C-alpha cells in the first residue's frame, strides 16, 4: 500500500491566497460597508458541552436563563436553547462528540447586568466560584469573570454611563500603551 504524499503550499502561494482574501474584502466594502449583510442579524451563540444537562443547570438555575427548547436522545439532553432573562438573546447548548474538546480559547461570552455586585454575591451564596469579583476596568466598565460548567469564559459586566464615552475609551487606550 502506497503512502499518500501531502502537498505543501509554498510560502509564495500562501501569501497569494492572503492577498486574494484582502482584495475580496475590499471589493465587498470591508467591515460594515457592504450591502451583502444589510439583512443579516445575529441569532444565537452555540456552546458545545460535554454534559448538556449540567450546562442547562448552570445557565438556567444560576444565570437565570429560560429554557425554551430541550431536545433529548435516549432520555438525555443533547441540545438546548435558552433565552437571556433580560432580553431576546439566546444561546444554544450542543452535545460535543465523544472525546471532542470543548475548549474555546479566544472566545468569551458577555452578559450585562446593572446589579452586577448583587448578582455575583447571589452566585457565591449558591457556592459558585467567581474567578474575579466585580471591579472597575481601565475602560470604565465594571467586570466580573467566571467559567461555566465546561470551562467557557464568561464576563458579567455593567457599562452604565461609560458605555461609549470618548474620554473613557481614550483613557483605556493610554492605559493599554503603558
Tell me the pTM: 0.71
Q: What are the tens digits of pLDDT across the range 134-145?
A: 999 988 899 999
What's the CA gap between 149 and 22, in Å, rounded? Answer: 39
Report all structural domains of the chain as residue ranges with CATH numbers, in order of start. 43-97 (3.10.180.10), 108-178 (3.30.720.110)
The more confidently predicted of residues 25 and 176 is 176
The whole-number pLDDT of residue 8 equals: 42
The whole-number pLDDT of residue 163 equals: 83
Are 85 and 66 within 8 A, CB to CB?
yes
Q: CA 137 from chain center: how many Å?
A: 19
Q: What are the tens digits of pLDDT across the range 7-53?
A: 444 444 444 545 555 554 555 455 555 566 678 888 899 999 999 99
Residues in the chain: 178
**Cα dihedral 133, 134, 136, 140 sign:** positive
Amino acid at each position: 500500500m502506497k503512502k499518500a504524499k501531502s502537498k505543501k503550499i509554498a510560502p509564495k502561494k500562501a501569501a497569494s491566497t492572503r492577498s486574494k482574501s484582502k482584495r475580496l474584502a475590499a471589493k465587498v466594502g470591508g467591515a460594515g460597508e457592504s450591502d451583502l449583510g444589510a439583512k443579516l442579524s445575529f441569532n444565537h451563540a452555540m456552546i458545545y458541552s460535554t454534559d448538556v444537562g449540567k450546562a442547562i443547570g448552570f445557565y438556567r438555575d444560576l444565570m437565570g436563563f429560560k429554557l425554551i427548547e430541550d431536545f433529548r436522545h435516549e432520555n438525555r439532553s443533547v441540545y438546548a436553547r435558552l433565552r437571556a432573562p433580560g432580553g431576546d438573546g439566546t444561546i444554544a447548548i450542543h452535545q460535543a462528540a465523544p472525546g471532542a474538546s470543548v475548549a474555546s480559547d479566544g472566545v468569551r461570552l458577555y452578559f450585562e447586568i446593572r446589579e452586577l455586585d448583587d448578582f455575583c454575591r447571589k452566585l457565591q451564596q449558591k457556592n459558585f466560584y467567581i474567578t474575579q469579583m466585580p471591579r472597575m476596568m481601565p475602560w470604565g466598565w465594571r467586570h466580573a469573570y467566571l467559567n461555566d460548567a465546561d470551562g467557557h469564559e464568561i464576563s458579567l459586566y455593567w457599562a452604565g454611563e461609560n458605555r461609549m464615552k470618548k474620554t473613557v475609551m481614550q483613557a483605556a487606550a493610554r492605559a493599554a500603551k503603558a
